[in-house]
A and B are shown apart, each in its own frame.
Chain A
Amino acid sequence: MKLKNWKEVNPGSVITEPGSSEKFKTGSWRSSKPIWIEENCIQCLFCWIYCPDNAIKVKDGKRGEFDYEYCKGCGICALECPGKKGNKAIIMVEEGK
C-alpha cells in the first residue's frame, strides 16, 4: 500500500472510516487453529459471545464457520464449548498440520 504524504493525511489524525481495522487480517497471528465439528454443536452460541475477535459467523441465530482471516487461535471457544454429550464441537489443532 502506498503511504500518504503529509498533504494527504487527515487534519488532527481523525479516522473517518469506521471499522477500518477489518482490513488488517489478524489470522496470520495464529499458531493453533479451531476446527468446528458441526455434528457436536448444540448452537449455544457461547463460542460466538466469548470470541475476542468476532471470528465466528452467525447468521439468523445459527452458528456458521470460523472466520480464519481474523481468528488469532486463542482457543477460548474450544475451552468454553459444552459440546454434545461430552463431545466438543470445537477442537484446537496445530496450525499448518
Chain B
Amino acid sequence: MAKPVTLKELSKKEILFASGHRLCAGCGAPIIVKMVLLASDYPLIAANATGCLEVSSCISDYTAWKIPWIHNAFENAAATLSGVETMYRSLKKQGKIDKDIKFIAFGGDGGTYDIGLQSLSGAMERGHDMLYICYDNGAYMNTGIQRSSATPLGADTTTRPAGSVVPGKTEQRKNLTKIMAAHNIPYAAQASPSHWADLVRKVRKALDIPGPKFMNIISPCNRGWRSRTDDAIMLSRLAVETCYWPLYEIENGVTKITFKPREKKPIIDFLKPQGRFKHLFKPDAEDFLKRIQDDIDKEWERLQKEEACFSS
C-alpha cells in the first residue's frame, strides 16, 4: 500500500481547480474537487453533471478547470465519460495516444442518485475505467434546495418544507453507496472532506484499480443546510463522528470501515447547527428525532456487522 501523503507534499503540487470559480463562499464542493485532483498522480480528464459545481466552474470564457473537462447535461455525466473513455481506448489501441489517462466524473446528488442513476448504473456495469464521484449535499441546491432522494429524513427543503402538517422529508435517504457496491464494481467508498487524508488515500487507491469505481463524498452546503459559511469542514466531521456519514470502502466485495469514532456522537450534534432541521427541536418532534437516531444506529450496526463478516 502506498504510504500516506502529507499536506506538505500535496502543497507542492499544482492545484488543477483554479481560483475565480463562482461557488458560494464556504461551499464544500470545491474543497472536494481540489482534494481529488491533488490526490492523483495520473493525468486526469473530468466530466461534470449539470449542477452547482458545473455552472460555477465554467461560465462563458472562464473555466476553473486546468484539466480537460466536459459538461454535457444533467443526467448523463457517466454516459458522457464512458464515451470519452471509450474513445481513449480506441485511439490508444490504434497507437494514436501513448499516455495513461484516468477519467473522473463529478455529479451532485440530484445528478447521481436521481436523474443520473440509470446512466451511472449503465457505465458501472459496462466496466469503463472511470471513477465516478458524487458530491452529496443532500438536495437540489443549484435550483434552490429541492428535495432529492439523498435528502436526509426530516430535512426542510423548498419542495418538502417543514410545515404544520409535514415535518420536512418523511422518507429515508437512498443508500447509493450500497447500490453501487451491488454492481460488484471493484471499488466503492464513502469519504468526507473533513478527513482529507482518508479521502486522498481512497482516490489514489481508486485510480490505481482498473475498471469502474464509485465514491460518495459528503459535501456541505451552507445555503441549503441553513448553516454558517465557515462550518463546511466542521459539519462534515460531525457527519462522520455521528455515523450519519460513515467512512468505509468496499474493495472487491470486502467492506472495511476506515474510520471508527472513539465515541459515537448523538445525531443531534450534526442536526442542531443546521437550520434545515430546526423544526425537529420543537418539543413535539422528539419521536421524529428518535426515529432519525434509530435509523442511523441501525445502519451503523449493519455496517459493522458487514465488516465483521470479512474480518475473521
The interface of chain A, by Cβ under 8 A from chain B, is 15, 17-26, 29-30, 44-46, 48-55, 58, 60-61, 67, 69-70, 72-76, 78-80, 92
Contact = CB atoms under 8 A, between A and B. Distances in A.
Interface residues on B, range: 35 or more
A64 B230 CA distance: 21
Given A18-B67, A26-B22, A79-B234, A52 B61 contact: no
Interface string B1-24: 000000111111001011111111
Given A26-B22, A79-B234, 12 more contacts: A18-B67, A19-B64, A20-B61, A21-B63, A45-B8, A48-B11, A52-B27, A52-B29, A54-B15, A54-B17, A70-B20, A76-B230
Interface in B84-141: none
A52 B66 contact: no
Contacts of B231: 76, 79
Given A15-B63, A23-B62, A45-B11, A52 B196 contact: no
SS class of chain A's interface: helix, strand, loop or mixed?
loop
Nearest to B232: A76
Interface of B: 7-12, 15, 17-31, 34-35, 57-59, 61-67, 193, 196, 228-234
A76 B62 contact: no
B58 A15 contact: yes
A21 B83 CA distance: 27
A44 to B, nearest CB: 7
A80 B30 CA distance: 17
A45 to B, nearest CB: 4
A46 B31 CA distance: 12
Nearest to B7: A45
B64 to A, nearest CB: 4
Contacts of B10: 49
28 contacts: A18-B67, A19-B66, A20-B18, A21-B20, A21-B22, A21-B62, A24-B20, A26-B22, A29-B25, A45-B8, A45-B11, A48-B7, A48-B11, A50-B196, A52-B25, A52-B29, A53-B30, A54-B19, A61-B9, A61-B12, A73-B229, A74-B230, A75-B229, A76-B26, A76-B233, A78-B230, A79-B233, A80-B234
B233 A50 contact: yes
A61 B230 contact: no
